[in-house]
A = this chain, B = another copy of it.
Amino acid sequence: MLTDPSNLTPIHDTAELGKILRTKRKAQNLTQGEVAEHCGLSLRFVSEVERGKPTAEIGKVLYLLTAVGVDLFADPRD
Protein backbone atom coordinates (compact mmCIF):
# COMPACT_ATOMS: atom_id res chain seq x y z
CA MET A 1 0.00 0.00 0.00
CA LEU A 2 1.31 3.36 -0.98
CA THR A 3 0.78 6.60 0.83
CA ASP A 4 1.07 10.05 -0.59
CA PRO A 5 4.39 11.33 0.68
CA SER A 6 3.89 14.86 -0.60
CA ASN A 7 3.78 16.25 2.92
CA LEU A 8 6.93 14.54 4.05
CA THR A 9 9.68 17.04 4.57
CA PRO A 10 13.24 15.80 4.95
CA ILE A 11 15.02 17.00 8.08
CA HIS A 12 18.71 17.59 7.69
CA ASP A 13 19.37 20.10 10.42
CA THR A 14 17.77 21.92 13.30
CA ALA A 15 17.00 24.99 11.24
CA GLU A 16 14.68 22.99 9.02
CA LEU A 17 13.10 21.36 12.00
CA GLY A 18 12.45 24.71 13.63
CA LYS A 19 10.90 26.05 10.47
CA ILE A 20 8.47 23.16 10.32
CA LEU A 21 7.55 23.60 13.96
CA ARG A 22 6.84 27.26 13.50
CA THR A 23 4.86 26.81 10.33
CA LYS A 24 2.69 24.11 11.83
CA ARG A 25 2.17 26.02 15.04
CA LYS A 26 0.99 29.11 13.22
CA ALA A 27 -1.23 27.05 10.98
CA GLN A 28 -3.12 26.19 14.13
CA ASN A 29 -3.15 29.72 15.49
CA LEU A 30 -1.15 28.79 18.53
CA THR A 31 1.31 31.07 20.25
CA GLN A 32 4.70 29.96 21.52
CA GLY A 33 3.36 30.48 25.02
CA GLU A 34 0.40 28.20 24.47
CA VAL A 35 2.53 25.44 23.03
CA ALA A 36 5.05 25.89 25.81
CA GLU A 37 2.46 25.59 28.54
CA HIS A 38 0.91 22.58 26.87
CA CYS A 39 4.29 20.84 26.95
CA GLY A 40 5.41 22.06 30.32
CA LEU A 41 8.25 23.95 28.68
CA SER A 42 9.27 27.57 28.73
CA LEU A 43 8.23 30.01 26.06
CA ARG A 44 11.91 30.72 25.77
CA PHE A 45 12.66 27.18 24.77
CA VAL A 46 10.00 27.11 22.09
CA SER A 47 11.34 30.31 20.60
CA GLU A 48 14.87 29.01 20.46
CA VAL A 49 13.97 25.65 18.98
CA GLU A 50 11.94 27.31 16.26
CA ARG A 51 15.03 29.31 15.41
CA GLY A 52 17.06 26.17 15.07
CA LYS A 53 18.88 25.80 18.35
CA PRO A 54 21.07 22.73 17.80
CA THR A 55 21.76 22.13 21.47
CA ALA A 56 18.16 21.68 22.52
CA GLU A 57 17.38 18.44 24.28
CA ILE A 58 15.90 15.98 21.84
CA GLY A 59 13.28 14.65 24.23
CA LYS A 60 11.78 18.07 24.69
CA VAL A 61 11.85 18.74 20.98
CA LEU A 62 9.86 15.57 20.47
CA TYR A 63 7.27 16.89 22.91
CA LEU A 64 7.05 20.02 20.82
CA LEU A 65 6.56 18.09 17.61
CA THR A 66 3.77 16.08 19.17
CA ALA A 67 2.13 19.17 20.60
CA VAL A 68 1.84 20.96 17.27
CA GLY A 69 0.94 17.83 15.34
CA VAL A 70 4.04 16.86 13.44
CA ASP A 71 4.88 13.20 13.07
CA LEU A 72 8.48 12.14 12.67
CA PHE A 73 9.69 9.26 10.53
CA ALA A 74 13.02 7.57 10.14
CA ASP A 75 14.02 6.08 6.82
CA PRO A 76 17.08 3.82 6.75
CA ARG A 77 18.57 4.32 3.32
CA ASP A 78 21.01 1.91 1.72
Contacts and interface: CB of A to CB of B under 8 A. Distances in A.
Contacts of A61: 58
**Which label, helix, strand, loop or mixed, suits the secondary structure of the A interface?**
mixed
Contacts of A70: 74-77
A8 B8 CA distance: 11
Contacts of A4: 2
Contact of A71 (B58, B59, B75): B75
Given A3-B8, A13-B62, A14-B59, 13 more contacts: A2-B2, A3-B5, A7-B76, A9-B73, A11-B62, A11-B74, A12-B62, A13-B59, A17-B58, A23-B76, A58-B61, A71-B75, A73-B74
